[in-house]
Amino acid sequence: MKLTYRKLMQDVGANKLNETSSSSLDGLKKRTKQYIFLQKVLSRIEELLAPEETIQAYLPLGNDRNSVVASSGWAGLAYARKDISKEYVAIFHDTRGNRLLIFTNQRLIFLTIIDFLEEDSYFSHPYADIKQIKLAPYELRYFDWQKKPKRQKMTYYILDFQAGQQIFQEILSEEDAQVFQDNLQKIPLLNLVPVSKKVQRETLFDYIFSNTSLAYKIIFTVFTIGPFCLLVLLIILLLQGALGDSGPYAEFFRNLHP
């Protein structure tokens, strides 16, 4: 059975190692090593907490079913210089793919594992700074070509919010979205934040240039309406040249009838 970072984080969060999920002794040894390392990471995360702050839940994020824009390809490259970072890469064979969203009783903490180990880099989003959260479902339809063409449907969620000057955007699976909604109900300060299907930004500049939903609508409009508009323009120019003896195609029609 494939060992996944996501399942390991669930085990670490529950403070137990699910030994039955490994089908071989080598698999169990590997999983145990990964489990112990993640406990080490969480111990370092706990050092970030304020005196009255406690961790409520973890939401592991990865390239398997979340956003890959900033964690794959060129954006996914990272160089491990510290011993602990090198150990992480050797154990998980990952650079910037594994991320973690941490729910505390006071804030959301987001980090990329290797960036946190290498540079102590993380993002803190106090609930008091979040004016509104967008958590909206979307559907993606596609064909499954494995056996015979069959139309399939996949539901995913967009999580988007601004906390102060920081903007957070992520794609969640249905399971991830349920984890977020459960903690939204469970954590009192997070429960006070309004949830909407619309994006909220502090400035017009941020709304235009850091809004993936708006960007998607613009791209969709350009690629669907754009070709139709070009076709209409071409027809108008052709009619102008054929009937009005003017425009860029006038010479073409004059040559047809010398």
Q: State the pLDDT at residue 256.
A: 65
pLDDT above 70 for 220:
no
pLDDT above 90 for 121:
yes
pLDDT in tens, 199-218: 888 777 776 767 666 666 66
Q: Which amino acid is at 32?
A: T
Torsion of CA 25, 29, 35, 37, to 10 degrees: -170
Question: What average pLDDT does the segment 150-165 reach?
Answer: 86
Half-sphere exposure of 129 (CA within 13 A, CB side): 16
Q: Give CA separation, 105 vs 110, 177, 183, 195, 196, in Å.
A: 14, 19, 10, 18, 21
E strand or H helix that includes residue 232: helix 212-243
pLDDT in tens, 67-110: 665 555 545 566 778 999 999 999 888 877 889 999 999 999 99
* Phi–psi pair at 71, nearest 5 degrees: -140, 15
Orientation angle between helical segments 25-46 and 5-13, nearest 10 degrees:
60
Strands 99-104 and 130-144, bridge-based pairing: unpaired
Taking alpha carbons only, the member of 131, 14, 114, 24 closest to residue 62 is 114
Q: Is 242 left (phi over 0), alpha (psi -120 to 50) or beta?
A: alpha
Distance CA 219, CA 120 (A): 36
Q: Specify the DSSP class assigned to residue 50.
A: -
pLDDT above 70 for 10:
yes
Q: Which two tokens stand for residue 213?
A: 């939903």
CB 248, CB 254: distance < 8 Å: no
What value does the CA radius of gyration of the chain take, rounded to a whole number of Å? 25
30 pLDDT tier (thresholds 50, 70, 90): confident
Taking alpha carbons only, the member of 247, 238, 5, 255 closest to residue 114 is 5
pLDDT in tens, 139-149: 877 667 776 77
Q: Which residues contact 169 (CB under 8 A, 6 or more apart)?
A: 67, 158, 159, 160, 210, 212
E strand or H helix that includes residue 101: strand 99-104
pLDDT above 90 for 195:
yes
Report the SS3 class of residue 194: coil
pLDDT above 60 for 3:
no
Q: Which residue would you say has higher pLDDT here, 227 or 190? A: 190
E strand or H helix that includes residue 204: helix 204-209
Distance CA 233, CA 236 (A): 5
Distance CA 130, CA 133 (A): 7
CB 85, CB 114: distance < 8 Å: yes
